[in-house]
Amino acid sequence: MNVGVLNESNKIENRAGLTPSSVSFLVEKGNTVYFQAGAGLKAGYTNEEYANQGANIVFTKEEVFGRSDVVLNISPLNQEECGMVKKDQVLFGFHHLAIAKKTLIEELLEKNVIIIGYEIIQDQNEDLPFIESLSEIAGQMCLVISGHYLQTSQGGSGVIIGGVVSVPPATAVVIGSGVLAKSAVRAMLGAGAHTIALGSNMEKLRELEEVTSGKVITLIASKYNLERMTKVADILIGAVLKPGERAPVMITKDMVISMKKGSLIIDLAIDQGGCVETSRLTTLEHPVFVEEGITHYCVPNITSAVSRTSTKVLSNVVTPYLLQMGELGVDQALKGDSSLARGVYAYNGSLTKKNIAERFGLAYKKLFQGKRES
């Protein structure tokens, strides 16, 4: 199998699709890796390191798409990249089709591609291996971001997260109760913040209390509770995750207006449209904007800021799937691995996720007719 790795640095993406270590695993099993020059530089890996492990260094995206059976992407493909996709190719990476442009989806479907999304691969226990691994990083990043943007010099309220003797800690309000929320809650509690989590799933809220030994305050995410908690938040973290769907808007503009001036919003759900009404996409180069006196941090590829660690995590998770696809072929790997099959957005020209098809008014076809749908 021929595997291609894109250099996505022009999209302000610092992570690479594979590490040299993963390249060596793939090559040892008879696969060929086409690696676009410079793709690993921002993660601290040189072209020579990849070449030494057997990768073929190519110099354009056209070469990657032209020579590869499977193309790995970190950021969703843009218009230019979609134009380079060849017929029957496998696109394996973050796609977030729920918020993609319909024209791009239609263009890819016409090319009969298989689209597999890292963000919706899900095992039998409903765990999301890619999302969970990156969530650990994102949770810790929330601390770094909060500590910086709460500073007076950054327009923040001038409070310290953990507080000091005679001065109470900052209040961190986390919206959500799943894997993203759990990571953010742990990070905030670890820094000494007064931490409140609001979610709609009682069982997950109970799990949050158990894993934090009752240190986190949990509430049902009703409009009444959301309105009350946003008013006291120094840090508001939107961590609502619905795999393969657009994130629901939980925090309205009126709630944002009611927040303390100089407070901070970190919308971790921005990859899927955002869960705060006032959120809009930002970048690592220009990560924040201020609206209604509140600083908004809405970077979709937040873990790209720590590219070395994130690249290792993504590469470690994706490599077993690639080895399986290389050994069995893509179709047999999908038929034999239900978690990988759950990650399929499109198969041979048809959308295989009913919610995506309905959202865009496109045809839906169940993956592998005759088999029970995952």
Q: Give the CATH number, domain containing residue 100.
A: 3.40.50.720
Do 273 and 177 lie in one domain? The reply is yes
Is residue 92 situated within a structural domain?
Answer: yes
Nearest to 102 by CA among 360, 364, 363: 360
What lies within 8 Å, CB to CB, of 283 at 6+ separation is: 12, 299
Do 101 and 15 lie in one domain? The reply is yes
State the chain's maximal CA–CA distance in angstroms. Answer: 66
d(CA 95, CA 317): 17
Per-residue tokens: 223: 């409009």
Q: Sign of torsion, CA 194 241 135 280?
A: negative
Please indicate whether residue 96 is annotated as part of the active site: yes
Do 190 and 238 lie in one domain? The reply is yes
Domain end among 250, 282, 300: 300
Do 177 and 291 lie in one domain? The reply is yes
pTM for the full predicted model: 0.93
Do 286 and 268 lie in one domain? The reply is yes
Do 293 and 157 lie in one domain? The reply is yes
Per-residue tokens: 201: 């799933």
What lies within 8 Å, CB to CB, of 236 at 6+ separation is: 172, 173, 175, 230, 251, 259, 263, 264, 265, 266, 276
Q: Of the residues 95, 96, 194, 296, which is catalytic?
A: 96
Give me the amino acid identity at 238: G
Q: How far is CA 175 from the centre of its chain?
A: 17
Do 204 and 293 lie in one domain? The reply is yes
Do 95 and 138 lie in one domain? The reply is no
In the block, residue with structure tokens 């009913």 = 354
Is residue 12 situated within a structural domain?
Answer: yes
Domain containing residue 64: 2-120+307-360
Q: Of the residues 69, 234, 267, 271, which is catalytic?
A: 271
Number of structural domains the chain divides into:
2
Distances (CA, A) of 225 to 66, 179, 199: 53, 21, 10
Is residue 368 situated within a structural domain?
Answer: no
Distances (CA, A) of 40 to 45, 54, 57, 75: 5, 15, 11, 14
- What pLDDT shows up at residue 172? 98
Is residue 365 situated within a structural domain?
Answer: no
What lies within 8 Å, CB to CB, of 37 at 6+ separation is: 7, 47, 57, 58, 59
Do 246 and 206 lie in one domain? The reply is yes
The residue length of the chain stands at 374
d(CA 190, CA 193): 8
Domain end among 281, 300, 319: 300
Is residue 374 situated within a structural domain?
Answer: no
Per-residue tokens: 359: 């959202």
Do 260 and 139 lie in one domain? The reply is yes
DSSP 211-234: HTTT-SEEEE--HHHHHHHHHH-S
- What pLDDT shows up at residue 278? 98
Q: Where does the chain show beta strands of DSSP type E?
A: 2-5, 32-36, 56-58, 70-73, 90-93, 114-117, 171-175, 194-199, 217-220, 235-238, 264-267, 288-291, 294-297, 344-347, 350-351
Domain end among 283, 300, 317: 300
Q: Let me know: does 157 contact 232? Beta carbons within 8 Å.
A: no
Could you list the pLDDT tens digit for every one of the 374 residues in the chain?
999 999 999 999 999 999 999 999 999 999 999 999 999 999 999 999 999 999 999 999 999 999 999 999 999 999 999 999 999 999 999 999 999 999 999 999 999 999 999 999 998 888 899 999 999 999 999 999 999 999 999 999 999 999 999 999 999 999 999 888 999 999 999 999 999 999 999 999 999 999 999 999 999 999 999 999 999 999 999 999 888 899 999 999 999 999 999 999 999 999 999 999 999 999 999 999 999 999 999 999 999 999 999 999 999 999 999 999 999 999 999 999 999 999 999 998 999 999 999 999 999 999 986 444 44
Is residue 128 situated within a structural domain?
Answer: no
Question: Alpha-carbon dihedral of residues 269, 275, 276, 278, nearest 10 degrees?
Answer: 80
Q: How far is CA 297 from the centre of its chain?
A: 15
Is residue 372 situated within a structural domain?
Answer: no
Is residue 366 situated within a structural domain?
Answer: no
The residues that bridge with 173 in the sheet, in sequence order, are 196, 236
- What pLDDT shows up at residue 241? 84
- What pLDDT shows up at residue 369? 61
d(CA 72, CA 70): 7
Do 256 and 314 lie in one domain? The reply is no
Do 294 and 315 lie in one domain? The reply is no
